Structure 1
Amino acid sequence: MFARGLWLSIADNLPHYRVALDEPGRARDLRVPRVIGVMLMNHHLHPTMPWTTLPQLARDRGEAASQRPAYFRAALRQLCGLQPRNRMH
């Protein structure tokens, strides 16, 4: 139960961790493998769009997947303690 609660807390905070208050949507979509993305429905910046359309939207906007933080790396960063906000990228 403790591990499940810890993971739910980390995962719930992930899209918002170290996001500037003036950043659009105050959240970010994270880079995940397609199989995992299906389970996560990773769509914080465009919550009304079907999550299956997000990869095409990113391509249409010229966004490279490498511009988005990796999901599990971002999760581990939350466990590293307080850090300056702008070091995420």
Structure 2
Amino acid sequence: MIHGRVQGVWYRGWTVATARELGLVGWVRNRMDGRVEALVQGEGAAIDRFLALAQDGPPAAQVVGIDMQDALVEDLHAFEQRATA
């Protein structure tokens, strides 16, 4: 979960582009409470790089924090943007 000013600033689009560039699979979506939620799967070094970049996100974003937790592996083949939950 990404907290801060992360909706309406192209954070989801940035996430998709960045994750794909790093060879990651997963998804990203807005949450009704103003956060952005993402599931990221791939090699550890690529995930670490993604998380470092996600601390800033796109230029208009103001990330306050990222809550991370392990999740069950899903059978995913790409990185996509999903509907708001």
State the TM-score, normalized to the length of structure 1: 0.33
Question: Which is higher, the Rg of structure 1 or of structure 2?
Answer: 1
Larger RCO, structures 1/2 (Cα 8 Å, 6+ apart): 2
State the TM-score, normalized to the length of structure 2: 0.34
